[in-house]
Amino acid sequence: MSEQLQERRTADTDSETLVEVRELRTYYESNRLFGGNPVKAVDGVSFDIRRGETLGLVGESGCGKTTLGRTLLRLERATGGTVRFDGRDVTKLAGTELKAWRRNAQIVFQDPDSSLNDRMTVGEIVREPLDVHEWRMPGDRRERVRELLDTVGLHPEHYYRYPHQFSGGQRQRINIARTLTLEPEFIVLDEPVSALDVSVQAEIINLLEDLQDEFGLTYLFIAHDLSVVKHISDRVAVMYLGKLMEIGPTEVVFTEPANPYTHALLSAIPVPDPTAADGRIRLHGTPPNPRHPPSGCVFKTRCPMRIKPADYPDMPDAVWDAIILLEDLLAERERMMGTIGWRVREMIGRTPAVGTIDEIYAELFGELDVPASVESVLEEIAAAARGGNHGRAIERLDDAFGGPCSADAPAVEAVGTDTRFSRCHRHQEPYPSPRAVLEAQSPE
Amino acid sequence: MSSTRPILTVHDLETAFFTEKETIRAVDGVSFDVTPGETVGIVGESGSGKSVTARSIMRLIKSPGAILDGSSIRFHHLETVREFADRFPGRTVDLTTIESVRRPDGGSEHPSQRVAPTIIDRIRKGAETELQFLDAEACVFVTAGNADEPASIDAGFIDITRTSGPATRAMRGGRIAMIFQDPLSSLNPVYSVGNQIKEALRLHQGLRGRAASRKAIELLEDVGISDARRRVKEYPHEFSGGMRQRAMIAMALACDPEVLICDEPTTALDVTIQAQILDLLADLQAQRDLAIIFITHDMGVIANVADRVNVMYAGEIVESTDVVSLFEAPRHPYTVGLMESIPGAQAGDRLSSIPGTVPTPTQPPTYCRFVERCPKAFDACDRIHPASLPVNDDVPDHRARCLLYPEDVDEATALARHEEEPQ
């Protein structure tokens, strides 16, 4: 899969690639006594960033976007995969080579309050990278800092002030000045404007765009605010639970999203127009725990267009939704009852009371008209769960209702053009595409 | 939009913080109404006084802050007025009887209901010291019916700024509830979620034991938490961000409040979760005829939830109108600036922004507080403090605090009207 991708991407050489990420993985090992699953914060991510472009990276909190940014800069250690920067694999760099490379790649953090040292003056903060890298003579450094303060729209006399004397927007300017000191080529902007008010946000975005033009910078712009990403990015990547779900040119992704997750994410943005029709796709639930990602497609637990199992093509949508929810609840219980704490409590007879499977059934299916064929399988599942065998119940459910989304992880597919990729089973025959499903759902 | 009478009237609210260096007038003369079933939005940048307004209504302002004399926040819910008149007879004032004794001009042709507002205005203006009848403790005012027989009261209000002790506590949480921006720091990490909901039930409704547990589970189900029976025993850290906010909403609704204040309830949440929470609030509002005050800085959210919008700047409401006219035709230069700085809403390459920051008001206003940042400022803006006037005669409900309005009269007339308006 990745080889194919690489070929396709190297064929596309309209501009030079600066950062080339292939199958990057960052796992956090469990530090429990008896082991456990690692958290797969970044799980097999591949993409390129071209010189001088802005790649937007969006996703919900906990999807791994910040970890991805930090791994690119070697602030986290990659578990696997490569990050080639100008053709050189930086995941293997060490010692002086690493230090020298770090001049080239910088980061702006989200919270301007906690990312500046309150006990240092603005001048000291901005100068610190120059001191660390022993750039020229101290006099030159001071001169350089004054220039930079001017570049980011602060005054040279701010040199001797302390961060608390500045507003949020100004503090973010200080942060930006600090990243520019060593003339990097690549900057990771980790939610640089989410802590700021809209009017200030606009100023900082304008500044970032000016600096990009002036110094030919390449940005990875991480944000959860999609309207900001839409404004600043050339291309946008959408991440969910450690995987890239879709990547493509901003304009196309925003107007014709290919992946169901992108659809849902975009439709959830509140439009600043009270008369606009409400076309929101409602996603139920929250992203799953990254320590226990679902089998198959990571988005299957919340996907509004999950493919129905082939054996039950006529199942009503409401029943199908309830089954997806049941799958989630059973998995949650299985995990809860599998912990050592639970087993100990069970031995001493002190398990907290939980709702029985029948109560869950009443909540989920109580008001639904369940077809007989589905009903009989549900009965089997309930019987297994009643006996305390949640593993067996989940197996049976997966067996009967799993469908293709549960069977295996969707591959990355080119959608339309060869600059756009998305991970979804619906891009394959014979399933209708996410767009077709969406159009069928809305009556217009 | 509901056309019933307001349930909450905020009148000339002034909240200041007294520091050693200066007095910060965080909220400076804010007035608005909320009716049942309606959502009133308050938008503005950080430091504009949105949250202090909400906290004043909840009486959560702590020293060195204080609500200044002359402010009035009136809660008109009839059952509550009756209940309070019953519980606090010593603090109840019958305005109908006092009016007949104390009418300054002596005219008697006015029915007492029409006269009562004069007194109310004098109370509001801080003139109660002249009116000797008014006990410092008085907080329940009856404007129709007999105050001695709570069941016969037909109209009245509770002035929240004058309540204290048990009356404040019965109001806060019981009648007016609030949900905050950061659900993790507003939940206690060492008590289970169910425990915290039960605390509210015990304090306000006297429910204990099993009945309380059952009610807590019901509430969690109402706010869309599945498997509530298990969840009720879990701790806040076991909940996701969206679920914590749902739990906060369940707690706020535990006592069946009439007014719900939402202070940036979705700012810390992802868009997909934000959509869920906004839907939930809309459903609950429809079911319970809740009056909601919704505070946010996100214009997109405000467009989706609000019926009426108040735009705040430096402690004042600078523009107030229904949501559709606000987005169709914003009038105050500040609102225009806010709308233009939303990314994605504009076609151009560069985002327009409002240069500068919100000033911290330390003195009563004698000029327009937006003048330094205003692209349309002219000479008079430095010397006249604009009053809140209708933007033109056709839309009396669309008010702006800007010398450019009313727009259907010439500049001199407009300025004169701003000057003669009582500040």
Q: Which of A197, A226, A274 sits opposite B323 (nearest CB)?
A: A274
Instruction: Give Dmax (Cα) for chain A.
Output: 83
> From the CA of B364, how many Å to the nearest CA of chain A?
24
Higher pLDDT, B50 or B350: B50
CB-based contacts of A416, cutoff 8 Å, min separation 6: A252, A258
Position B122 pLDDT exceeds 80 = no
Task: Write the pLDDT tens digit of every residue in B129-156.
Answer: 445 556 677 888 888 888 788 888 888 8
Taking CB atoms and an 8 Å limit, are A199 and B327 in contact across chains?
A: no
Least confident residue range of A339-343, A369-373, B228-232, B316-320: A339-343
Which residues of chain A are within 8 Å of residue B299 when distances are taken between CB atoms? 198, 272
Domain borders along chain B are 78-171, 186-250, 313-420
Q: Which residues of B touch A268 (CB under 8 A)?
A: 271-272, 274-275
Residue B389 has pLDDT above 60, yes or no: yes
Q: What is the ipTM of this complex?
A: 0.81
Q: Which of B272, B301, B303 sits opposite A60 (nearest CB)?
A: B272
pLDDT for the residue numbered B423? 56
Euclidean distance between the first and the last CA atom of chain A, given in angstroms as a whole number: 38
Residues on chain A touching B226 (C-beta within 8 angstroms)? 325, 329, 363
pLDDT for the residue A62: 83
- Long-range Cβ contact pairs of A436-439 (< 8 A, separation 24 or more): A437/A305, A438/A263, A438/A281, A438/A305
Mean predicted confidence (pLDDT) in B294-309:
93
What are phi and psi for residue A268, nearest 5 degrees? -85, -10
- Radius of gyration for chain B, computed over Cα atoms and rounded to the nearest angstrom: 23
**Is B273 in Cβ contact with A60 (below 8 Å)?**
yes
Q: Residue A5: what pLDDT?
A: 45
In the structure, what pLDDT confidence band is assigned to residue B113 with cuts at 50, 70 and 90? Answer: very low
Percent of chain A that is helix, strand, coil (3-state, to 5)? 45, 15, 40
The span from the CA of B394 to the CA of B331, in Å, is 14
Q: Please, what is the Cα angle at B343 between B340 and B344, to 5 degrees?
A: 105
CB-nearest partner of A282 from B229, B276, B306: B276
- Element housing A373 (H / E): helix A372-386
- Least-confidence region, from A38-47, A228-237, B62-71, B367-376: B62-71
Q: Does the structure show a pLDDT above 70 at B346?
A: no
Per the CB < 8 A criterion, the answer to whether B263 and B179 are in contact is yes
pLDDT cut 90: percent of chain A above it? 41
pLDDT of amino acid B212: 93
Q: What distance in Å separates residue B356's CA from the closest CA in chain A?
A: 8
Of the pLDDT bands very low, low, confident and very high (cuts 50, 70, 90), residue A399 is confident
The answer to whether residues A193 and B333 touch, using CB atoms and an 8 Å cutoff, is no
Determine the residue among A197, A206, A245, A266 to mutate to test chain B binding: the one whose Cβ has the most chain B Cβ atoms within 10 Å. Answer: A197
| Residues A66-121 pLDDT 10s | 999 999 999 999 999 999 998 899 999 989 999 999 999 999 988 888 889 999 99
Angstroms from A26 CA to nearest CA on chain B: 23
A341-373 tens-digit pLDDT: 777 777 777 665 566 778 788 878 888 888 888
Instruction: Nearest by CB to B300, from A230, A272, A354: name it.
Output: A272
What Rg, from alpha-carbon coordinates, does chain A have?
Answer: 25
Which residue ranges form the domains of chain A, and what is each CATH number?
2-267 (3.40.50.300), 317-401 (no CATH)
pLDDT band at B118 (very low <50, low <70, confident <90, very high): very low
Is the sign of the CA dihedral A414, A420, A423, A426 positive or negative?
negative
Give the separation between CA B2 and CA A324, rounded to whole angstroms: 39
Which residues from chain A sit within 8 angstroms of residue B335, using beta carbons? Answer: none
- For residues B53 and A30, give the distance between their C-alpha atoms in angstroms, rounded to a whole number: 46
Better pLDDT: A343 or B44: B44
Residue in B220, B227, B327, B373 to test binding to A, most A beta-carbons within 10 Å: B227
Average pLDDT for B26-50: 92
The confidence score (pLDDT) of residue A333 equals 79
Task: State whether B271 and A274 contact (CB < 8 Å).
Answer: no
CA distance B144 to chain A (A): 39
Which residue in chain B has the smallest CA separation from A274?
B303
Look up the pTM and report it. 0.85
Nearest to B300 among A203, A270, A363 (CB): A270
Residue B227 has pLDDT above 80, yes or no: no
Q: Which of A206, A280, A283 sits opposite B353 (nearest CB)?
A: A206
Size of interface A-B (CB pairs under 8 A): 136
Query: How do strand B65-67 and strand B8-18 relate by DSSP bridges?
Result: antiparallel
The strand pairing partners of A21, in sequence order, are A47, A83
Nearest to B297 among A60, A197, A203 (CB): A197
B/e letters for A243-272, b = 16+ CB within 10 Å, e = fewer, are bbbbbbebebbbeebbbbbbbbbbbbbbbb
Contact A199 B299 (CB under 8 A): no
Beta-carbon separation of A224 and B271 below 8 A: yes
Min Cα separation A121/chain B (Å):
22
Inter-chain residue contact B343 with A169, CB threshold 8 Å: no
Residue B1's pLDDT is what?
39
Residues in chain A within 8 Å Cβ distance of B230:
336, 352, 354-355
Closest chain B residue to A193, measured at CA: B343
Nearest by CB to A355, which of B229, B276, B299?
A: B229
Check CB contact under 8 Å for A169 and B357.
yes
Judge contact between A199 and A207, C-beta under 8 A.
no
Over range B118-134, report the average pLDDT.
Answer: 50
What is the reported pLDDT for B134?
A: 63
The residues facing B66 across adjacent strands are: B16
Structural element, H or E, at residue A101: helix A95-102
